[in-house]
Structure 1
Amino acid sequence: MLQEAVDEAIEKLNMHGYYNSYYDQPIEQYASDNGYGVQEIEDGTVDLKVIIEEESIPVDVEKEQASIAAILTVAKEKVHYQLLDTVEWQEPFPIIDLQNGWFIKPVQEEQVPAGKIIHFEPPRAFGSGLHGTTQDCLRLILREEMKGMRVLDIGTGAGLLSIGAALSGASEIQAIDMEDVGEEVLYNARLNGVESNIKVSCADALNPKFGIDGTFDWIFINIAANEIKQLFAFVDRHLAAGGRLILSGMVTWNEEDALKVYQENGYQLKEIHQTDEWVTAYLIKSR
């Protein structure tokens, strides 16, 4: 299998002192009923990148090419090289203009935009701020007055929606995610001075054993359509009468099916926002 061949190549490189290598996962994305899925590519090729840092001794490019070719038993002509600046391969995150007076600013960015700022560290979790769903949710959240309100953020990722709620005045935010993102979320919250408002839990809201106390004035869900449908009973138990609900992570070909569950059970659809194929909905619990 392709993945096994890549793993074997990396192991060979490690044995010969080439420890800094990476590659794009041999997977392909496809559209599914739940949005998108991925599957492993069984056959094909992978570009394996080997980073060699030049310190006091200049790197002999031809020598390194020949060495890597011999280790991997490929022709030297198959081993290409490119000189990189130190920061070039780190994929810098840009400042994001939310077009409402707010900006998402990575801590590494020296430029300070003229407006209100959400500071954050580019994370490993989904809600990096670059995705259209995160931005659409933030636009809805940051326009609201949430003073003294309780908020539940399901699938918090990097915590940007929770931080947005805190900046909008929410007094208590419960942020949950299936990944252990607590350290990232609270670090980002500290950057914005709102860490005391946010509590993070590593949990699956779909797990029947998961419990949370009380009701909330707002619930945010930024995951996928199937999970949004499955979470209806949980949401209905924990969203107060007249409470607000933001659902995101749906796509144009499944939004109607996902929202139908809520609209048929007393939730009024107030707004729909779309970025590319991604859909975000704002609803009110009318009972």
Structure 2
Amino acid sequence: MAKELTVNIPSTSVDEAIEQLNIAGVFNLYYEQPFETKVNENGYGVEIQKNQDIKLHIVVEEDTEVNGVLRLVSETLQVSAQEIEQADISLQIGPIHFVDIKLRNGWMICYEESVDSKLEKTIYLDPQAAFGTGVHETTQDCLQFILNDRFDNMNVFDIGTGSGVLAIAAAIKGAVNVTAIDIEPVEREVAHQANLNQVSNITVHQVDILEEDYEFPKDIDWTIINIGAEETVKIIKRHRLYEKTNKFLLSGVVEWNEEKVTTYLENVGFKVLERIQSNEWVTALYSK
């Protein structure tokens, strides 16, 4: 059974401690940066708590002698064995198991590692590292819009694609060209999810769309952005997407910042076709 050794270390010393442990041959470790969640006008943010102790966790696999690792950590970090807390974390090791999600429109998000045949009204996900597990309200509400519509022969852009679940939904609904953009290197994960859903017409580009230049086509049927109000307005304005897009599906917007997005889009010729709200999160479809 796997064990975890936890050491309290000053935040200013954590990088040095990790380096010392790596040199000593201890690699399976992680730590939690202390932070406080803050509500701001764009939604939620985090404030890193400085000058606090950090819990450095060392995972000891079940076939490793715990006392030997305990002595090694004690000697390397110059702390006593009594200062090191041992905890059984066997339930935290291995993949996270998700429960299938039934969307409000009859579709389902199904978490299967392998799919032999595609069931109707089902999107398959095998969550990896990118955002977009299907659990968050914004993802589900975007899927509500996409899966209720038709995308036959359409050109779709999904900005901030993460796992690619929204891009995949558009492809399932008939989009002929789907371009998925993300600041992170998500191409392999999106390809994996696309393969699960038997779609192959998704192109992934890694680019910081807020800071870097990118050549968008002049005729985009749908642009999907599930990020946040401030970032969404900046992206649309920077790349003049209001001139190139027929419909915007926007989410990741909190109710107290929705007016900023709506007012901006109305000023450039768009109107709200439909909106839904889950808790504080607003998802809306805008059209020229």
1:203 deviates by 2.3
Task: Name the counterpart of 2:215.
Answer: 211
**Structure 2 unaligned runs (5+)?**
1-8
Q: 1:2 to 1:94 in 2, by over 3 A?
A: farther
The secondary structure found in structure 2 opposite 1:37 is strand
User: Under a length normalisation based on structure 1, what TM-score does the superposition of the two structures give?
Assistant: 0.85
Residue 189 of structure 2 aligns to which amino acid in structure 1? E
Of 21, 26, 35, the match for 2:29: 21
Kindly state the Cα deviation for residue 32 of structure 1 after the two structures are TM-superposed.
2.2
Following TM superposition, the consecutive aligned residue runs of length 4 or more in structure 1 with deviations greater than 6 angstroms are 112-115
Matched, 1:10 2:13: no
Q: Please say if 1:80 is aligned against 2:114.
A: no
> What SS is found at the alignment partner of 2:20?
helix
Percent of aligned pairs with the same amino acid: 37
- State the secondary structure of the residue aligned to 1:262: helix
1:1-287 equivalence runs, <5 A: 2-55=10-63, 59=65, 61-62=66-67, 64-85=69-90, 88=93, 90-108=95-113, 116-195=121-200, 197-207=201-211, 209-233=213-237, 234-239=240-245, 243-285=246-288
Partner of 2:190, secondary structure, is helix
Report the Cα offset of residue 30 of structure 1.
1.8
Contact 1:232 1:261 in 2 (8 A): no
Letter in 2 for 1:237: E
Q: Distance in 2 between matches of 1:179 and 1:84?
A: 30
Mean CA deviation greater in 1-10 or 156-165: 1-10
Q: Is the 8 A contact 1:154 1:176 kept in 2?
A: yes
SS of 1:269's equivalent in the other structure is: strand
Deviation sequence 1:163-206 (CA, Å, 0-9, x none): 000111111111112222222112211111111x2111122344
The verdict on how the C-alpha distance between 1:8 and 1:92 changes in structure 2, with shifts beyond 3 A counting, is farther
TM-score by length of 2: 0.85
1:130 is aligned with what amino acid? V
Q: Secondary structure of 1:47's partner? A: strand
Unpaired runs of at least 5, structure 1: none
| Local SS of the residue matching 1:140 | helix
CA offset digits 1:112-142 (Å, max 9, x no partner): 9986321223132222322221111011101
Q: 1:26 to 1:129 in 2, by over 3 A?
A: same
Give the Å deviation of 1:77. Answer: 3.0
Secondary structure in 2 aligned to 1:5? Answer: helix
Contact 1:204 1:210 in 2 (8 A): no
1:93, CA displacement in angstroms? Answer: 3.3
Q: Distance in 1 between matches of 2:47 and 2:23?
A: 30
Aligned AA for 1:31?
A: V
Check the 8 A contact 2:150/2:173 in 1, yes or no.
yes
Are the equivalent residues in 2 in contact too, given 1:248–1:279 (CA < 8 A)? yes
Letter of the structure 1 residue corresponding to residue 206 of structure 2: C
SS at match of 1:254: helix
Does the 8 Å contact 2:42/2:230 carry over to 1? yes
CA distance in 1: counterparts of 2:99 and 2:78, whole angstroms: 40
Which amino acid in 1 is paired with 2:281? W
